[in-house]
């Protein structure tokens, strides 16, 4: 069956002499694998549209009950020229793609995840600073889509809303993403991971606002690192087989 | 088809393990070998064993070689002030074929690819740094024009910056013989970025 869809290129692997097996997160079918014949030869008809992080319009022969399909056409759909401009953009863009490739299952379409993915790449491309925030915001929203979103709006015990809370710290429970304020728990570590008041409000901001607004939030590098560590352990708790994002380790190894 | 000879069957199995060789091709190759004169087959077999026994990596540039250091690293005719950094030994051959470069090489053994779990520690990056001293004037980054090559270029550029050695990269853009109108946006953008004054 010939089908047309849009997709984000996640990963490519050399195949035979001149081809590649490319993993794409498509709008219609979720994560799929396609063979791109001749993409590494002089006669390559796909241009640069199969490079990771590209948002492409593709046409493929989709075979029922097979997990490898044949790519017949691919073109860049959205031009993201700045993703490779500097290390921070590159590594954050790669981390977004790495995350999707890690947590999404094959051929499990989710239009909302696709939307978040393309919004994130577009935002990393456009942002002038704080590119990592885009990734953090993407993570918060992706958790929600995957059914384990955090519930930070109010304290799970006193029900006081986050806007009224004026606390130095709170506890985030990894198992269900609920938050308990320090007034209700004191300093007891049993309620989950301790997060500072600033971290809590930052997480809430990143979760509630549009992805493209994430980069306008100024975070100190300490808070940023703590947020990354917290979100990564939260992810590990909820998504089997997930590990530390290699693209991010690369970013921090050069700072 | 099942052959009546176990030996042939075994040979087919071995051929079929090679990259880009399917079972059909493996069968053809095995039958061809059967028809070849014995001495030709022995020569062929010896060449395969020799490649394993004699070829190794140069301890300086990590290119493949039979003598260590390799002929390029030990040559006095080469410009020892310039190092061209490439991903694989095949890339050295490609650059050598141009006859345009007379410096030394450094073969990284791949490119950074976080999604494949390939980080700086998996490449000959430390070894590159240890080669850099006051005698080196220029480092040319000649990595593949794809996301992995670009990730590596950005990484190395940042790593080399504090050393204040002139670091350049090879140009990216349109392949010679292609048509401008068929180039995609990403390729054309790189070509525009890399424009030169006339
Ligand atoms: Zn409370
Ligand atoms: Zn050498």
Domains of chain B, by residue range, sit at 79-193
User: Does residue A250 share a domain with residue A138?
Assistant: yes
B158 CB neighbours in chain A (<8 A) are 87, 254
User: Does residue A119 share a domain with residue A75?
Assistant: no
- Mean of the pLDDT values across residues B49-74? 95
Q: A17 vs B20: CB contact, 8 Å cut-off? A: yes
Which residues are within 8 A (CB) of B28 and not within 5 positions of it... i.e. 6 or more apart?
none
Q: What is the pLDDT of residues B100-134, one digit of tens each?
A: 999 999 999 999 999 998 999 999 999 999 999 98
Q: Provide the token pair at B120.
A: 């700086």
User: Does residue A96 share a domain with residue A66?
Assistant: no
User: Does residue A115 share a domain with residue A236?
Assistant: yes
Q: A94 vs B151: CB contact, 8 Å cut-off? A: yes
User: Does residue A100 share a domain with residue A43?
Assistant: no
pLDDT for A146: 94
Q: What is the CATH number of the domain that holds A44?
A: 2.40.50.140
Beta strands across the sheet bearing A193-196: A151-155, A178-181, A169-172, A193-196
Asked whether A68 and A62 are in contact (CB, 8 A), the reply is no
pLDDT for A49: 95
pLDDT for A242: 83
Inform me whether the C-beta atom of residue B186 falls under 8 Å from chain A C-beta atoms: yes
CA of B104 to the centre of ligand 2 (A): 8
Q: Provide the token pair at B196.
A: 């030169």
Q: A250 vs B151: CB contact, 8 Å cut-off? A: yes
List chain A residues with pLDDT less than 70: 186-191, 255
Smallest CA–CA distance, residue A87 to chain B, in Å, is 6
pLDDT for A187: 59
Q: What is the pLDDT of residues B173-193, one digit of tens each?
A: 888 888 888 888 888 998 998
User: Does residue A231 share a domain with residue A113?
Assistant: yes
User: Does residue A138 share a domain with residue A21?
Assistant: no
Inform me whether the C-beta atom of residue B121 falls under 8 Å from chain A C-beta atoms: no
Tally the domains of chain A.
2
pLDDT for B1: 56
In this prediction the pTM is 0.89
pLDDT for B60: 97
CA of A149 to the centre of ligand 1 (A): 20
Q: What is the CATH number of the domain that holds A229?
A: 1.20.1440.120
User: Does residue A104 share a domain with residue A34?
Assistant: no
Q: What is the CATH number of domain B79-193?
A: 3.40.1360.10
Structural domain for A31, as ranges? 1-79
Asked whether A65 and A43 are in contact (CB, 8 A), the reply is no
pLDDT for B168: 96
B99: left (phi over 0), alpha (psi -120 to 50) or beta: left
User: Does residue A208 share a domain with residue A180?
Assistant: yes
User: Does residue A98 share a domain with residue A169?
Assistant: yes
Asked whether A5 and A58 are in contact (CB, 8 A), the reply is yes
The Cα–Cα gap between A6 and A78 comes to 10
Point out the residue among B20, B114, B186 whose CB comes nearest to the CB of A76: B186
Q: B120 vs A10: CB contact, 8 Å cut-off? A: no
pLDDT for B77: 96
Q: What is the pLDDT of residues B141-163, one digit of tens each?
A: 999 999 999 999 999 999 999 99
User: Does residue A95 share a domain with residue A142?
Assistant: yes
């Amino acid at each position: 069956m010939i089908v047309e869809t849009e997709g984000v290129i996640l990963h490519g692997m050399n195949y035979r002499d001149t081809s590649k097996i490319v993993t794409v997160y498509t709008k219609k079918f979720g994560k799929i694998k396609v063979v791109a014949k001749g993409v590494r030869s002089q006669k390559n008809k796909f241009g640069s549209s199969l490079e990771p992080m590209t948002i492409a319009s593709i046409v493929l022969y989709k075979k029922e009950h097979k997990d490898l399909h044949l790519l017949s056409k691919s073109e860049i759909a959205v031009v993201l020229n700045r993703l490779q401009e500097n290390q921070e953009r590159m590594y954050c863009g790669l981390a977004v793609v790495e995350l999707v490739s890690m947590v999404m299952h094959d051929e499990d379409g989710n239009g909302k995840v696709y939307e978040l993915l393309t919004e994130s790449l577009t935002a990393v491309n456009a942002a002038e600073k704080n590119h990592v925030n885009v990734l953090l915001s993407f993570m918060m929203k992706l958790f929600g889509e995957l059914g384990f979103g955090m519930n930070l709006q109010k304290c799970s015990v006193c029900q006081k809303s986050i806007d009224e809370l004026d606390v130095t710290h709170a506890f985030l429970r990894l198992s269900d993403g609920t938050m308990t304020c320090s007034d209700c728990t004191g300093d007891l570590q049993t309620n989950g991971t301790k997060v500072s008041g600033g971290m809590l409000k930052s997480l809430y901001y990143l979760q509630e606002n549009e992805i493209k607004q994430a980069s306008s939030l100024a975070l100190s590098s300490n808070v940023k690192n703590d947020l990354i560590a917290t979100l990564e352990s939260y992810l590990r708790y909820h998504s089997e087989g997930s590990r530390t994002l290699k693209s991010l380790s690369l970013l921090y190894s050069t700072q | 088809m099942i052959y009546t000879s176990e030996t042939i069957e075994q040979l087919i199995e071995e051929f079929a393990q090679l990259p880009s060789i399917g079972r059909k091709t493996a069968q053809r190759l095995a039958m061809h070998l059967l028809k070849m004169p014995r001495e030709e087959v022995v020569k062929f077999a010896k060449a395969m064993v020799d490649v394993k026994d004699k070829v190794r990596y140069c301890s300086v540039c990590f290119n493949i070689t039979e003598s260590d250091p390799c002929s390029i690293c030990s040559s006095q005719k080469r410009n020892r002030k310039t190092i061209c950094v490439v991903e694989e030994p095949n890339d050295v051959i490609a650059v050598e074929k141009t006859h345009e470069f007379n410096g030394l090489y450094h073969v990284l053994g791949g490119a950074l690819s976080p999604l494949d779990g390939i980080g700086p520690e998996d490449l000959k990056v430390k070894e590159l740094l240890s080669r850099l001293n006051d005698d080196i004037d220029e480092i040319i980054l000649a990595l593949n024009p794809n996301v992995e090559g670009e990730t590596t270029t950005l990484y190395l550029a940042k790593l080399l910056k504090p050393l204040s050695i002139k670091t350049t990269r090879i140009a990216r853009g349109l392949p010679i013989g292609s048509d401008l109108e068929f180039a995609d946006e990403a390729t054309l953008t790189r070509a525009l970025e890399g424009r030169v004054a006339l």
